[in-house]
Amino acid sequence: MRIGVLTGGGDCPGLNAVIRAVVSKSKIHYEWEVFGIKNGWAGFVNKNIEELTLESVSGILPKGGTILGTSRTNPFKEEGAAEIIVANAKEMGIAATVAIGGEDTLGVANGLCKLGMPCVGVPKTIDNDLGGTDYTFGFDTAVNIATEAIDRLHTTAESHHRVMVVEVMGRHAGWIAVHAGIAGGADVILIPEQPFQVTEVCALVKKRHARGKSFSIVVVAEGAKFQHEGDIDGSIITQDVEVDDFGHVRLGGIGNILGKEIERQTGFETRVSVLGYVQRGGTPTAFDRVLATRFGIKACELVEEGEFGKMVALRGNKIIAVDMEEALEIKRVDMDLYDLASIFFG
């Protein structure tokens, strides 16, 4: 049998660990041929594929990014593109595809399954916001990078008696902000799930300074929402008006706006650090390497069992199969965890 493997959406530490596991299990255990589809779904449209061997995946386990390349191509946006993918997969003899990606990539895999193309999913995102699984790989690495950054910013904040605003990733959910914020001892954490008023943030900072502290660390997720009076939902801050193939705007910039307001309203000197893509790059942590490897092996087992339309998932300490649709439900931050974090605010 010949199977395909692809990576779609934003890159993420651990993608190569999954690819390696899929190739190793397929070749050693099942004696399947494995083809890598280049640059996400785009590679299926233009038949850009390469055979993967045990040699070609040797040494990639600790490498960040993806050896297959990635893109945010959505074949369901272009008339007839999804049908071309189904036909090309058949023509290239690819009997099943392992799609490694987030809500967008897995949404496409699910749609293609419905058109008769056998796919299984592997959940990936540093944001950890996919339903059906306790954790996605990449998240642990991002949290560790953000925590180290907060630790480093602490020393400058303390020495200069400043407020430090740290903007971390997190489009729909504030998992990175909450985990890194708790681990790094943040004094305020702002997340998309809980719209905030700047006056409330300033009150917390002032309260802290009033009890003798001369610095504060404010962690804000890029998708957090500013709330004005009477505006319950709040508004996000975007970098431009353009959207990608899946209708997502480019977020970013909330940290700078917030930092200026904190300085204006409190009078405390404030600086801003935007962590951005640093959180998504580089070598995966041991946790992410193990999770990615377990996901890759289980994905092959699902292919062997003909369990198409399913996604591998971590529940407790077990790797299980769930319907791919479950991943498409956004997993928001557990508010009990946020409440725990807020004990340390102000």
List 25, 171, 209, 294, residue binding ligand F6P (CB under 6 A)? 171
Contact call for residue 167 and ligand F6P (CB under 6 A): no
Least distance to ligand F6P, CB of residue 72, Å: 6
Residue 126 engages ligand F6P in binding (rule: CB under 6 A): yes
Show contacts with ligand F6P in window 27-86 (CB under 6 A): none
The answer for 139, left when phi > 0, alpha when psi is -120 to 50, beta otherwise, is alpha
- Closest to ligand F6P by CB, 96 vs 177, is 177
What phi and psi values does residue 190 have, to the nearest 5 degrees? Answer: -120, 130
Q: Which of 34, 127, 193, 208 binds ligand F6P (CB under 6 A)?
A: 127
- Select the residue interacting with ligand F6P from 179, 225, 280, 289 (CB under 6 A): 280
- Contact between 125 and ligand F6P (CB under 6 A)? yes
Contact track, ligand F6P, 204-243, x by CB under 6 A: ------------------x---------------------
- 3-state SS record for the chain: CEEEEEECCCCCCCHHHHHHHHHHHHHHHHCCEEEEECCCCHHHHCCCEEEECCCCCCCCCCCCCCCCCCCCCCCCCCCCHHHHHHHHHHHCCCCEEEEEECHHHHHHHHHHHHCCCCEEEEEECCCCCECCCCCCECHHHHHHHHHHHHHHHHHHHHHHCCEEEEEECCCCCCHHHHHHHHHHCCCEEECCCCCECHHHHHHHHHHHHHCCCCCEEEEEECCCCECCCCCCCCECCEEEEEECCCCCEEECCHHHHHHHHHHHHHCCCEEEEECHHHHHCCCCCHHHHHHHHHHHHHHHHHHHHCCCCEEEEEECCEEEEEEHHHHCCECCCCHHHHHHHHCCCC
> Of residues 164, 219, 251, 272, which one binds ligand F6P by CB under 6 A?
251
Q: Which residue's C-beta sits nearest to ligand F6P?
A: 169
Per CB under 6 A, the segment of 43-51, 76-84, 88-96, 167-175 that binds ligand F6P is 167-175
Q: Which is nearer to ligand F6P, 117 or 146 (CB)?
A: 146
**Active-site residue among 11, 127, 187, 288?**
127
Complex with ligand F6P: residue 1 or 257, whichever CB lies closer: 257
**Could you confirm whether 129 is annotated as catalytic?**
no
Shortest distance in whole angstroms from residue 221 CB to ligand F6P: 8
Contacts with ligand F6P by CB under 6 A: the residue count is 12
Q: In whole angstroms, how close is the CB of 109 to ligand F6P at the nearest point?
A: 16
**Residue 127 CB neighbours (<10 A):** 29
CA separation for the pair 305, 303 (Å, rounded): 5
Chosen residue from 34, 85, 143, 169 binding ligand F6P by CB under 6 A: 169
Work out which of 4, 10, 132, 259 binds ligand F6P, going by CB under 6 A.
10
Q: Is 130 in the site for ligand F6P (CB under 6 A)?
A: no
**Residues at the contact surface with ligand F6P, assessed by CB under 6 A:** 10, 102, 125-127, 169-171, 222, 250-251, 280
Report, as residue numbers or ranges, the catalytic residues: 127
